Amino acid sequence: MYNAQLVIERVQSEIKQKKETQKHVLEVCGLSENTLKKMTDKNGIASFSLAKIADELECSVDYLLGRTNNPQAHIAKTATVSVGNDFNNQGVIGSIGNNNSPINIQAANSLDENDLAILNAYRSLNPMNRARLMVYADDIKKDEEKANEV
């Protein structure tokens, strides 16, 4: 189903675009210098290894696999953050999400224990995973809105 040569070519292309060396990128990912050379259509690459490479190259795994031609497919939906001073007088100090369905951020004094735990978990994520989480949260919010319409 997947083509090892395409994966290798896309990894090498992204490495070249980032002006890195293949050896350096693979070392940073904790992988052998021969990882790509060993890849064949029958003997692919471990999903975690491919994910590490994609993270290091700041591109999507789907792009490396040839499932999309957009290297940034993992962040195709935009998430924006706006922060202000209690702009609606209800304790909301900002919002996260796209312009169509933002998720409000409450002022710190109105956050409960669960809100703080979620906020701390969010802050601990790398930028790519933050974007993925925001897309997921946005999808959940849309599902809730649809359910409430019924």
Alpha-carbon dihedral sign for residues 42, 20, 71, 78: positive
State which amino acid sits at residue 49.
S
User: For residue 128, how many C-alpha atoms fall within 13 Å in the half-sphere facing its CB?
Assistant: 14
What is the band of 43 on the pLDDT scale with cuts at 50, 70, 90? confident
The CATH 1.10.260.40 portion of the chain extends over 4-73
For residue 38, what are its two tokens?
A: 């060993």
Q: State the architecture of 4-73 in CATH terms.
A: Orthogonal Bundle (1.10)
If you average pLDDT over residues 13-35, what whole number do you get?
Answer: 92
What is the band of 96 on the pLDDT scale with cuts at 50, 70, 90? low
pLDDT at site 145? 85
